[in-house]
Structure 1
Amino acid sequence: MKIAIVSVSKRGYDLSFKIKNLLDNDSTIIRCDIYHKDVKTVFNLVFNEYDAIIAIMASGILIRSISHLIVSKVSDPAVLNIDDNGNFVISMLSGHLGGANKLTLKVAELIDATPVVTTSTDVNKKLGIDVLAKDLYLSIDDTKEILHFNKSILESKPLVFTVNSSSDYDYLFNYLNDNTLEMDVSIYFSSRINENEIEVECDNHKITLKPRNVVFGIGCRRGKSKNEINEAVKTVLKDLKMDKSRINMFSSAEIKKDEQGILDLSEELNIPVNFVDLDRLKLFKSNDIQESDFVKSKFGIAGVCEPSALITAGFNSKLIYKKTAFDGVTVSVALGENKK
């Protein structure tokens, strides 16, 4: 998640740096930038360039400054509102698909503030269909149906999932088992469903969910074992609250194609690995990756795990977990378009 923190007062500016310093230690935060004053101009610049905006100011200023920019819950960034004293963190916009609700809880805990979340499914402890899609990195074919689904879920209507038995949907089963509370949920198998689709039905309405491409980029010192690399992968999975079955592919640079630890882990977990050509890595440019001076001086590329993950994840991919080191193993995670 890329975050812009916007403030108008001196006290708010100081709080911006406190929040940035805390978020910079979070591997799921790819970038965090600070903006101060001239908020109307700033919001025009950042609204469509960041995944989330943290506005430290009066709610009236925030609402008037972004009202003309709001388009849709599908495309609008998450927007949080915090008072100058850091007493309250309010989820204002794109609570589910944009991730504002979860970011609100995260930031409130970091600065010891009171989180304020008002979406109906959350306050009634129900699982919104858009929350499920966001948590499991699934796309929704018809986002106009979200409102009807969540309204029906609030009314305790049964929710029916249908999948193809040929695909591995352990991540879905585990998630539903852990998160549906008292909801009436059923799961069926059918050969009429495409292998990379999940059909959901509620109150005579249907939504199709499609898994997006999840790629774990891996770099490591020479000779790292399968178990050492796996421990790093398991730590990242835990951080992302992601099931192992959700990983579509491992990726690394061509220079690691004979790294036995990576090859062994790929075979053991039955997850394919793509080794990206050095020429492609040399041409790859992104403002979101952390360049390694050592790797650049030795191989002429900016890095291994981040660029290889982004390239392998495909067009319009983005990092959801920045390069993080685990005792000689580096891991990043990229999210791409729908899995083919």
Structure 2
Amino acid sequence: MKIGIISFTARGTRLCCHLASRLSGGVDECTAFVPERYSDTYDKTGDMEGVVRCQDMPLGQWTKTMFREQRAMVFVGAVGIAVRAIAPFVRDKMTDPPVVVVDEAGRFSIPILSGHVGGANALASRIGECIGAVPVITTATDVNGLFAVDVFAAENGLVLTDREAAKQVSARILDGGNVGFFNEFEGGEPGVPRGCCKNPSEYNIWVTVKDSSLEFERSVGAVGSRRVLRLIPQAVVAGVGCRRGVEPFILERQVLEGFRKHGIDPASVKALATIDIKKEEPALLALAQKRGWTLRFYSAAELGDVGGTFTESAFVEQTVGIGNVCERACMAEGGRLLFGKEAGGGVTVAAAVEPFKLDIEKYI
């Protein structure tokens, strides 16, 4: 997490720098932004290079920069200052960065934006551990010690497909009702989250790569209309082959059509895989960049070592040295084939799903 901490007074500056030094390191990148006139008020001993910077821009500009960089913000000062500073930039709790306010005496740490998905609640608790402050958490599920599906999704890298369904699930749990919990990737998880059960209910959570909740009843053996919240893990690899110079829109269309035809949500894709002679293919590079997919390239020899029965082509083997690229490429790191070679427009597509394990123990 990238964190920016800002202060406004001499006392606040000392706390700001102390907190930045405690939070820096490990997986965090933390910077204290302090008024230049208080640069002589904090302890400069130790390795503070790069941790403390003089604040040389208006507060509104600083806040705008933090939002643009998706940095967590910690305001050492009054809540009102923070609220007025962030107000013009608040858009969506699913994408807004976390914001925490710490009073300059260091008594309380208060998350005021993106408590769950953004991680402000967790950051407030960490700050409390660092300086002995009391985290002031007001989120209903946290206050009641209940399962929060949005936090669970964020921490497990799951795509939350329906925000209204997520609200309904949370309301159901808060009301004390059961929510069904089903996981396509179940492989020894110790149980289900608090407030959930293994039986189909009126409200259900489904960890799946499927693109429609209509498949839920068939998959779990349930009968009757259900409200289903799909949580999508990024566990699918799309294997592709293509002719040289294929148009980017044709490649994207064929890949997405393959997923649509077989009921796989494109949000589940984590990588695009193919043969290494396609490393410079513009359409592949453009699709990966547009969708945020990792690119994987394999040599013909590496693809030849992939075990399994594949749809081979003598022409493809003569051209690139291996009879099937798309199926072998998506299976190169293991996993289970979701659908085999689909061809069209000079493009071949296949997809495999790799093993995925939920971090669920702390929610039980």
TM-score by length of 2: 0.52
Contact 2:8 2:76 in 1 (8 A): yes
Asked whether the 8 Å contact 1:197–1:209 carries over to 2, the reply is no
CA gap 1:101/1:58 in 2 versus in 1, 3 angstroms = same
The Cα of 1:163 is off from its aligned counterpart by 3.4
Count of residue correspondences: 218
Check 1:195–1:157 CA distance in 2 against 1; reply closer, same or farther (3 A cut). closer
1:315 to 282, 292, 297: 292
Q: Is the 8 A contact 1:20 1:32 kept in 2?
A: yes
Higher relative contact order (CA 8 A, sep 6+): 1
Instruction: Give 2:156's match in structure 1, choosing from 101, 115, 136.
Output: 136
Q: Which residue of 1 aligns with 2:64?
A: 44
- Cα contact 2:208–2:231 (8 A) shared by 1: no
The residue that corresponds to 1:303 in the other structure is none
TM-superposed deviation, 1:34: 2.2
* Structure 1 residue 46, shift from structure 2 partner: 0.9
Quote the residue 2:229 is aligned against. Answer: 207
CA distance in 2, matches of 1:102, 1:11: 25
| Aligned equivalents of 2:94, 2:196: Cα separation in 1 | 26
Determine if contact 2:98/2:115 at 8 Å carries over to the other structure: yes
- 2:60 and 2:227 mapped to 1: Cα distance? 40
Of 147, 164, 186 in structure 2, the residue corresponding to residue 169 of structure 1 is 186
Contact 1:54 1:81 in 2 (8 A): yes
Change (3 A) 1:129 1:195: closer
Distance 1:23 1:316 in 2: 31
Distance of 2:18 and 2:67 partners within structure 1: 22
User: Does the Cα contact within 8 Å between 2:4 and 2:32 map onto a contact in 1?
Assistant: yes
8 Å Cα contact 1:74/1:143 also seen in 2: no
Q: 1:94 offset after TM fit, Å?
A: 0.7
Larger radius of gyration: 2
Q: Secondary structure at the match of 1:71?
A: coil
State the partner residue of 1:218.
none
Structure-2 change in CA distance of 1:187 and 1:10 (3 Å)? farther
2:1 corresponds to 1:24: no
State whether structure 2 residue 110 is matched by structure 1 residue 110.
no
Structure 2 unmatched ranges of 5 or more = 36-57, 201-205, 218-224, 237-268, 271-275, 281-287, 295-352, 355-364
Amino acid of the structure 2 residue aligned with 1:185? C
- What letter is aligned with 2:168? H
* Aligned mates of 2:106, 2:16 — CA distance in 1: 10
Aligned-residue CA RMSD (Å)? 3.8
How do 1:321-336 residues align onto structure 2 when only pairs under 5 Å count?
none
Distance 1:207 1:132 in 2: 13
Which of 178, 182, 185 is the equivalent residue of 1:158?
178
Distance in structure 1 (CA, Å) of the matches to 2:183 and 2:134: 40
CA deviation map 1:22-45 (0-9, x unaligned): 112333x2x112223532221111
Aligned equivalent of 2:32: 34
CA distance in 2, matches of 1:195, 1:206: 11
Q: Which amino acid aligns with 1:107?
A: I
For structure 1, the 5+ residue unaligned runs are 215-247, 250-275, 281-310, 318-338
Q: What TM-score does the superposition give when structure 1 sets the normalisation length?
A: 0.55
Q: Distance in 2 between matches of 1:44 and 1:90?
A: 21
Aligned residue number for residue 209 of structure 2: 196
Residue by residue over 1:240-281, the C-alpha shift from the partner in whole angstroms, topping out at 9 and shown as x without a partner, is xxxxxxxx99xxxxxxxxxxxxxxxxxxxxxxxxxx9xx99x
Q: Distance in 1 between matches of 2:186 and 2:119?
A: 23
Say if 1:6 and 1:39, in contact at 8 Å, map to a contact too.
Answer: no
- Deviation per CA, 1:282-307, whole angstroms, max 9, x where unpaired? xxxxxxxxxxxxxxxxxxxxxxxxxx
The residue type equivalent to 2:17 in the other structure is F
Task: Report the 3-state secondary structure (helix = DSSP H, G, I; strand = E; otherwise coil) of the residue aligned with 1:60.
Answer: helix
Equivalent residues of 1:48, 1:76 under 8 A apart: no
1:213 & 1:33 partners in 2: Cα distance?
A: 34
Residue 95 of structure 1 aligns to a residue whose secondary structure is coil
Question: Residue deviations 1:116-164, cap 9 Å, x none?
Answer: 1000011011111102112222111122332222111100121112333
Q: Which residue in the other structure is 1:124 paired with?
A: 144
Find the aligned partners of 2:199 and 2:26 in 1 and give their Cα distance: 35
Q: Distance in 2 between matches of 1:112 and 1:141?
A: 38
Hey, what's the Cα distance between the residues in 2 that align with 1:85 and 1:109? 15
CA distance in 2 between counterparts of 1:156 and 1:51 reads 36
User: The residue matched to 2:234 in structure 1 has which SS?
Assistant: strand
Q: 1:48: Cα distance to partner?
A: 2.9
Please say if 1:83 is aligned against 2:103: yes
C-alpha contact 1:156 1:184 (8 A) present in aligned 2: no
% identical aligned pairs: 27
